[in-house]
Structure formats: structure tokens, C-alpha cells
Amino acid sequence: MSEGQNTRVLLAERPVNRAPVASDFKIERVPVAEPAEGEVLIRNHFLSLDPYMRGRMSAMKSYAEPVRIGGVMPGETVGRVVASRHAGWRTGDTVMAHTGWQEYGLVPGERITRIDTNLAPASHYLGVLGMPGMTAYCALLYLGEPQPGQTVLVSAASGAVGQVVGQIAKIRGCRVVGIAGSDDKIAYVRDELGFDAVLNYRNSDGVAKDFDTLSREVAGLCPDGINVFFDNVGGVVHDAALSNIAQHGRVIICGTISVYNELEKPDIGLRWMRQLLVKRARMEGFLVYDHAHRTEEFRQTMAGWLREKRVIFKEDVAKGIESAPDAFIGMLAGANRGKQLVRFSQD
């Protein structure tokens, strides 16, 4: 394959306190590299685009190192082995790896995971059976501890994590309320996923509602308070939810996408912390990698739910690696409909 070209997306500039734009990325074509001893060359079929990547574009210290300027944008991919110098892998194997935003990835053999396309389509390993699905599963069940009959509120309810959270909460017998930002997302969450209620955090003109409105609307949909608040969003939606937390409620901080374009302003945060005291509520940050020991439990359980159609999962697929920056920029603004993927055009 070494005679081919590898198209990849680099970080050209760090957006500071603003949304990323196309010129923050640079698309380049380089020859496909040869694997060294112990390495495997993967031709990618799907790239996962996830909100956490916005954090990696920032130089701010977080739970992972920033991408360097000129470095390949990071990301998880599924693809097929096209050349191997590692005894564990053969040409044709379907695998998952962190190769980043590029058509071909060169990876040490021990950093690759085999995936079973008989169990589920390859793309699912980047979504409902992958990191977002496992995030939903472990964070909801092990941090949120939802009990039958309790109210679970999910922000970004139609997103890669949110749609799974709500469905698992339904399986566990909870009353599930979602928050999303457009009519078609609302319809998907309510009509296809079966949430009990959904709230649009935007007015009909597309502008986000203010705190008082949101807090009142959340109170209306959660009259007994929120027992588990699964937050992917932060900001005013978080405030509105926390102002309605139930006694001994649990808040899972899974993402803060509403402030991802303002990471360098550390004074943006929640305003209702006193509710934690008043309600003896618990708030906890979550990172799926801390739960690696639950991978097998998660895979088996979720595969069963998918088979039984108790969980469905929507993917929003952009075409071609060149579309990755625009798809990513759109996802941060809420333009995606379900889990955002990039499908490589050579398939």
C-alpha cells in the first residue's frame, strides 16, 4: 500500500475562547508509511468525532495532553489491517485503534483492538458499543445509581452519549426527561427513543432560553425533582437542572460542551452549588477510561440490548476525511443528528 497517499488533518491553530473554524485545521497528503517491526498499517473506514477533541485543541491542562500544532488531530477509528509486522495481526483483520483524523494509521500491534462485525456493524464500535456507549452505561449505572420510578434528566439527549443514557434509564424503570436543541432532535428523543418528556433549551428563534425560563420548565417536567442529572452540557442548562435537584440527587458531569469554546475563561461554571448542600446531593466527574475493567460487562450487556431492540442508536455520517473539520465544527454547534462519524471515501 506504500505507493498510496494518506490524507490527514492537522491542527494548524489553537482556537482560544472561540469556536474552531476551518482554518484551524490543515489538510495534507503524504505518502503512506511502511510499518516497522511490531507495527501494523490500518486503512480506516470510520473516524469518530467527539466533543472532547475540542479540549485537546486547547493548550489548557486537562485529563489528556493537548495536540501539538502541526500534529494529527486525535481520534478513534475502525478499519482493516493492510500490512502487518506484528504476529498478532493479519491483513484483512477488522480493528479499532486511535489513529486520528487520517486515512491510514500506523500503530504498534499491542495498541489495537479486534472488533466483531458479526455482533454489530463496524461503526457501532465507535458509538453505542464503544466509548460513548460505555460512558453512558458506566456513568449512569455506577455513578448515577438510578432506581425504578426515579426521574433521570439527560442533557444533549440526542447525542452519542445522551441517547444511550435515556434508553438505559428506561430499561431500569426510570422516568426519563431529555433536553435537546431542535424540533427534529426533540421528535427523535420522544418518538423514537421513548423518553417520557423532552424540553427544547432554545426558543423558536434558535436562541437559548434564559435561566429563569429553563428552571421553570425543568420544574414543570420534573415535579418531584431530579434524582439523576446526567450532564453533557454545563452552563445555563446545568444551572437550571441543579436548581431542581432532588434530595440525595446525583449529578454526573460527563461533558461541558456549552463552555468548550471558552475553556480559557475558568470562571465559567455552575451557580447553584448551594443546592448540593441543601439537598445533600452528589456531583461527580466521569471519565470512561477509569472504568476499563467494565468493558466486557458493558459489551455483552449492550450487545444484548441492541439484539432485543431495547436500545437503538442514530449515527450522523459525513463523507470523506476532508469533511472532518466541518463536521466537527458543526457538531460543537449542535448541527449533528446522533453520533457524529466520518466515513472514508475510499470504501
Residues in the site for its own copies, rule: CB under 8 A?
Answer: 61-63, 211, 234, 238-239, 243, 253-256, 259, 263, 266-287, 290
Q: Which is nearer to its own copies, 254 or 302 (CB)?
A: 254
In the complex, minimum distance from the CB of residue 268 to its own copies, in angstroms, rounded to a whole number: 7
- Separation between Cα atoms, residue 1 and residue 44, nearest integer Å: 13
CB of 149 to its own copies, least distance (A): 21
**Cβ of residue 17: shortest distance to its own copies, in angstroms?**
14
Q: How far apart are CA 160 and CA 338, in angstroms?
A: 6
- Output the CA torsion 253→168→298→343 (10° steps): -80
Distance CA 191, CA 326 (A): 29
For the CB of residue 145, give the shortest distance to its own copies in the complex, in Å.
Answer: 13
Q: Considering beta carbons, is residue 122 or 281 the nearer one to its own copies?
A: 281
- Smaller CB separation from its own copies, 99 or 243: 243
61/122 Cα distance (integer angstroms): 33
Q: Which is nearer to its own copies, 245 or 306 (CB)?
A: 245
Q: Which amino acid is at 235?
A: G
Three state DSSP letters for 67-129: CCCCCECCCCEEEEEEEECCCCCCCCCEEEECCCCECEEEEEHHHCEECCCCCCCHHHHHCCC
CB 11, CB 68: distance < 8 Å: yes
In the complex with its own copies, the residue whose CB is nearer, 22 or 273, is 273
- Taking the complex as a whole, the smallest distance from the CB of residue 266 to its own copies amounts, in Å, to 6
Q: How far is the CB of 62 from its own copies (least distance, A)?
A: 5
DSSP 160: T
Residue 265 or 319: which CB sits closer to its own copies?
265
Phi and psi (nearest 5°) for 67? -70, 140
Amino acid at 274: R
Residue 69 CB, nearest approach to its own copies (Å): 22
Task: Give the C-alpha separation, 47 to 114, whole Å.
Answer: 16
Identify which of residues 187 and 278 has a Cβ nearer to its own copies in the complex. Answer: 278
β-pairing verdict for 245-253 and 39-48: unpaired
